[in-house]
Chains A and B, each alone.
Chain A
Amino acid sequence: MKSRPSAQVFRPRSNALVVVFGAFMVVVVAGTATAVILYANSAFVTGVGETLQQPVPFSHQHHVAELGIDCRYCHADVDRSAVAGVPPTSTCMSCHSQLWTHAQMLEPVRKSLERDEPLRWNRVHDLADYVYFNHAAHVNNGVGCESCHGRVDRMPLARQVQPLTMSWCLDCHRNPGPNLRPEQAITAMGFDAAAVDSHALLERYGIQVDRLSDCSVCHR
């Protein structure tokens, strides 16, 4: 078929328009992307710093810093189960049947034991249901409580300090060394990770770093 020369559709100044439009689109796309990323990582979405209403205003600061109770007294299964274990009412009452036995604040705890109805705590650290986090795997491999939960010894009410996003998890899974500590310091608060030899710890715990970013380590 014979082609017929057609009239010029675009005039030369269209070139400039294209450049301006292109630049505008780049700005829009980059701006949108930045906004989405900033939003997704904002405390509003991740819940960092948020304090939730709890049935009993339990103070980690008081129990950990002032009384010096080890994390594992209450979270007893943390080194052998996927879940750390929120203590049963009976654990609270092991002390509070002797101490502060009439405190108004502890009324729900006494009621729980009396009526055999569990306390219902609001979850502070909430991972997506498709993430299979395992506490035992972490605390047995040198990851301290503090690394994820922050300075609970300074928290009158528990709050989330880390974003718990996948990129935050992966930061450590790709380079766990800086977050490792020796066994005796797992529950310590204010531990200085820079003071220990992370290579030696990686070696000692037998951590195969190249396997830690496999999808199925967390997603099953």
Chain B
Amino acid sequence: MSRVLSLEELQASLAVSGSGPRYWRSLDELAGREGFGELLREEFPRLAPLWEQSVDRRGVLKLMAAGLALAGLGACSRPAEEIVPYVNIPDGQTPGRARHYATSLFVNGHAHGVIAKTLEGRPVKLEGNPDHPATLGACDSWTQAALLGLYDPDRSRTPRFRDQVSTTGALLDALLPRRKHWDRTGGEGLAFVLGDRNSPSEQARLRALRARWPAARWFGHDADGRRQAMQGADQLFGRPLQPVHDLSDADVIISLDADLLASEPGFLAHARHFAAGRRAGAAGAAMNRLFVAEAAPTVTGAAADHRLAVAADGIDALARSLAQALGLEVPATGLPASSAGRAAGWIKAAATDLAAAQRPVIIAGAQQSPAVHALALAMNARLGALGRSLRLREPDGLVTEPLQNLNKAIADQTVDSLILLDANPVYDAPGDLNFSETFRTVPFRLHWGPYVDETARLCHWHVPATHDLESWGDARAHDGSVGLIQPLIEPMYQGRTALQMLALLDTGQEREARGLLSDYWRDTAALSGGFDAAWQRWLTAGVVAEARPDFVSARPLADWAERLPEPAPERDGLLLQFRLHPTVFDGRHANNGWLQELPAPITKQTWGNAVQIAPATAARLKLADGDVVRLSLAERALESPVLIVPGHPPDALSLTLGHGRTAAGRVGNGVGVNAARLRRAAAPWFTGAAAIRRTGAAEPLALTQNHHLMEGRELIRSADVATYRQDPGFAQEPPPDKSLYPEPSPRARSALPQWGMSIDLNTCIGCNACVTACQAENNIPVVGADEVARGHEMHWIRIDRYYEGEPDAPRMAFQPVPCMHCENAPCEYVCPVEATQHSSDGLNEMVYNRCVGTRYCSQNCPYKVRRFNWFDYSNQAALATPAAANNPDVTVRSRGVMEKCTYCVQRIRSAEIEADISDLPLADGDVVTACQQTCPTQAIHFGDVADPDSAVSRAKAQPRDYGLLTHLNTRPRTTYLAGLRNPAPTLANGDDDGHSQDDSESPA
């Protein structure tokens, strides 16, 4: 791994940069260090070990002889294949034609509406439901990957008793005396631990249980810290309320450590509305402005016009100062010394903008303290945002106690029966609770959840949960809207839905899942028409239109500011911050290969976590990427590699939760370290007094960061809005010189349509949703950590992350790179077997059955978008995608075959055939690629570039349109719209983050 980089070295390297923004991708590159280029000049770095294990001549001959003999054997007979028709064809089913159903999924506890595609009763793809208010037709990586979760062979299959297969009947027998006892005592000694599912019908059942057993205690497992927002509202309004933010038409958006575009509740709607404001700016109207103060880099920070890196414990001081600048009387404290200069400028600019804003909104991150939430809500109220961009709802569900109370109750022996519903506290309870030890002392432990996880293993009884795609249920979104969950497939194992499980506890009987749900809604919904018609309507639309959220109005208490806690004293030493992982979240997605292999948006790390640290702090502590450190807090410690992250606040360490699972399954076990071991229940999200020590060991990190370097060319272009207004064509470059020779290609293509793509870097937030959507649509295999470290990851679309400016406060930008479908494709000329060819409608086609794996095409591809199957990833034992999850319209590739983005040719062809059959012309928008369909910000346009009125042609006609490496005369069909930034005028000279604002790219 690399040596230690000094900050001076980096700054010296920056000082010599010329005019215009200079993007860089990694600290090594920025320093231009010896050996770095060599590493990258190889197409796939660290390939060498493959060749080092030499095979001798005898071995080669033996293998060849054996291969020939076996090849002959294999050809002896044609494989027989069967056709198995239905006995009775289900109503409306046409074999070979997909059907689509609207349903909902829980994504980290909140409902996301989806349209699920099924083929012969088998769900194969999920898309966002355009009618669902929380998703608006967009999708995210978690939803996409839920499909893989459905087919996960590690899911729990049967009820278990003391780690042996059992039955629900046996469980009912065991429950019978206990239920009688609870009925007698009102639930004395009984305790529930609830996960974060937000479902109206389940909550009604839970309330019924609470009424039945009033002495029972209820504990909530607060995975993402959402409890703190309600506590903040309690401080301000005198009662706990849930804030619902609405970013539509917001002109000034302030984030106080809220990753509102990629993980906060409602992030899909936020991203869509944020992008609308960006797009309006590009079209000539006023552009919205995003101020972000954050404790570790996120995609929201990357999208910000002004990003301020502040350690998590400094957000409170920042919020107080901002509140004061807005005229609120709050006890103030000094800004953290380390970033005081920048913070003051940031606050001034934000306050100025907020004062003039039409529709401002301030959002505090879920992991921030109640005081920060109270301050953010008070500022919103002050600015008149209440009822407009910020609305308030009564809290959903039961009021629950925090987990530490349970720990105490168990220790006091007041709990003798524990029922855990979709919660895994043995894995993720803060380490200082020593929860697994206390937990073991409870005499009766029952767990309901999708996996036999760490908690289930320590329980007497376990009941498997059905996957959302095989359940009947309902789910509430962050904004209070409700959608029904309907099954796409019969439960594959002996799972029970949440309602079934609760009914089982309540009535002591097994009930049918659908009846439980429809009974609830029949009793609840006040309908003018009949219930059955409404039920059909809800199932068709995926949304219960009648279940409108009730927003309440509230006024800040007069003395709220006095009740704010004393500001924390200035910390010395390092702050340890716990962050939710951008892909595996709190660990619930740990057994999902698609999410494990999805590069984290900023760090580009796959398969594991690392201690994130600022470049300056790393230099001070003499740490380099991959150095294993020992982190200790009180008497607990763990060891993890270090990852230097530009833009991370100094003197703080970030560690993501969700890794280090021991009972996740074959994919997630033993990946990374479990950060929860260091957490403190009293301060779950950040804590001081952490000690860090080098162990001297180093560990390779599976990063996708430095692969596929584009040699520092101007690949990503952006400008300030002001520059753009003066010079809309700032991203343009002169066309390549005309050749003296007649050009043999591109040959004239008369066929219609001609496909092309446009990606808007102004709205792309780098959230990775397209990567997972592509993986699901195109049967892209999971390769594992070792292979990723060798540069063998297979994603057809990669998101390049660029830094610009100084390493301690860089700007970040993203660029999704799929195949460019060059009209003059360099790959096509060099294929010796013509396995890659150009179609008459402008696609660069890849024919797998013809490919012999010379890899010349990849060598000759200037964009490095081709991927090679070094091994039979699709069928390898541990990580193979279950065959049922594969898209039958796309070939599953085997070893030795090159592959790449096809513009979702299977969708193009089926749309063409559909249009042909129905005798209708193919309309603009009939073909939607998987990445385009899922994109939360609608940054991707795809369509016929020969039609000047198509959406993609209109996008490409914008002056911001540019292509990558067009000087090579490749004539890419995928082009980009240059990014735009909207810096505040008061900060436009770079006094916030120190970088040059001369953003215009010279058009000459």
A-side interface residues toward B, CB under 8 Å?
45, 47, 77, 79-83, 85-90, 112-113, 116-123, 126, 128-130, 132, 134, 136-137, 140-141, 206, 208, 210-211, 214-217, 219-220
Q: Which residues of B contact A206 (CB under 8 A)?
A: 916
A129 CA / B890 CA spacing, docked (Å): 10
A120 contacts across to B, CB distance below 8 A: 82-84
The answer to whether B87 and A214 have CB atoms under 8 Å apart is no
Residue B267 at the chain A interface, CB threshold 8 Å: no
Task: Give me 8 A-to-B residue pairs in the complex whose CB atoms sit less than 8 angstroms apart, sorted by A's number.
Answer: A80-B97, A123-B81, A126-B81, A132-B909, A136-B917, A137-B916, A214-B841, A220-B891
* Assembly CA distance A154 to B629 (angstroms): 79
A-contacting 9-mer, from B107-115, B220-228, B579-587, B845-853:
B845-853
Known: A80-B97, A140-B917, A219-B891. A210 touches B85 (CB 8 A): no
A113–B86 Cα distance when bound, in Å, is 10
Contact A211 B751 (CB under 8 A): yes
Contact assessment for B87 and A90 in the assembled complex, using a CB-CB cutoff below 8 Å: yes
Evaluate contact between B82 and A219: CB separation under 8 angstroms. Answer: no
Considering only CB atoms, which chain B residue lies closest to A206 in the complex?
B916
Could you tell me the distance between the alpha carbons of A123 and B78 in the complex, rounded to whole angstroms?
Answer: 11
A85 lies within 8 A of B95 (CB): yes
Any A CB within 8 A of the CB of B533: no
**In the assembled complex, how far is the CB of residue A113 from the closest CB belonging to chain B, in whole angstroms?**
6
Q: Do A82 and B96 form a contact, CB below 8 Å, given A118-B84, A216-B843?
A: yes
Q: Is B70 an interface residue (CB 8 A)?
A: no
Is B840 on the interface with A (CB-CB < 8 A)? yes
Could you say which of A90, A123, A126, A217 contacts B909, with CB atoms under 8 Å apart?
A: A217
Are the C-beta atoms of B96 and A214 separated by less than 8 Å? no
A113 engages B841 (CB within 8 Å): no
Chain B interfacial positions (CB closer than 8 Å to A) = 78, 80-89, 94-97, 750-751, 837, 839-841, 843, 845, 847-849, 889-891, 902, 905-906, 908-909, 913, 916-917
Chain B residues contacting A90 (CB-CB under 8 Å) are 86-89
Q: Which residues of B contact A83 (CB under 8 A)?
A: 95-96
Residues of A contacting B849 in the complex (Cβ-Cβ under 8 angstroms): 128, 130, 219
A215 touches B891 (CB 8 A): no
| Contact call B847/A215, Cβ cutoff below 8 A | yes
Interface pair B88/A126, CB less than 8 Å apart = no
Given the known interface contacts A79-B917, A136-B917, A219-B848, the answer about A88 and B89 at a Cβ–Cβ threshold of 8 Å is yes
List chain A residues, Cβ under 8 A from B840: 208, 210-211, 214
Closest 7 CB pairs of A and B: A81-B96, A214-B839, A83-B96, A88-B86, A123-B81, A86-B85, A89-B87
* CB of B842, distance to nearest CB on chain A (Å): 10
Contacts of A140 in B (CB 8 A): 916-917
Interface of B is mostly: loop
Please, which residues of chain B bring their CB within 8 A of the CB of A117? 87
Q: How far is the CA of A216 from the CA of B95 in the complex (A)?
A: 23
Q: A80 near B917 (CB under 8 angstroms)?
A: yes
Chain B residues within an 8 Å CB radius of A80: 94, 97, 917
Cβ-defined partner of B891 (8 Å) among A77, A79, A123, A129: A129
Of residues A134, A206, A214, which shows the largest number of chain B Cβ atoms within 10 Å of its Cβ?
Answer: A214
User: How far apart are the CA atoms of A121 and B86 in the complex, in Å?
Assistant: 12
A81 to B910, CA, bound (A): 10
Q: Give chain B residues whose Cβ lies under 8 Å from the Cβ of A128.
A: 849
CB atoms of B917 and A220 under 8 A apart: no
Q: Told that A140-B916, A214-B841 touch, could you supply 12 new A-B pairs with CB distance under 8 A?
A: A80-B94, A82-B97, A83-B95, A85-B85, A88-B87, A90-B88, A90-B89, A120-B82, A136-B917, A210-B840, A216-B845, A220-B909
Within the complex, the shortest CB–CB distance from B982 to chain A, in Å, comes to 41
B85 x A89 contact (CB < 8 A): yes
Given A77-B96, A83-B95, A216-B86 contact (CB < 8 Å): no
Contacting residues, chain A, for B848 (C-beta < 8 A): 130, 219
Known contacts A83-B96, A129-B891: A141-B916 contact under CB 8 Å:
yes
- Cα A214 to Cα B849 in complex, Å, equals 14
A120 to B845, CA, bound (A): 36
User: Taking the nearest CB of chain A, how far is it from the CB of B749, in angstroms?
Assistant: 9
Complex CA distance for A217 and B89, rounded to whole angstroms: 30
Are B902 and A220 in contact, CB atoms less than 8 angstroms apart? yes
Least CB separation from A81: chain B residue: B96
- Chain B residues in 8 Å Cβ range of A136: 913, 917
**Given known contacts A77-B97, A216-B845, A216-B909, is B839 in contact with A122 (CB within 8 Å)?**
no
B909:A87 contact, CB within 8 angstroms: no
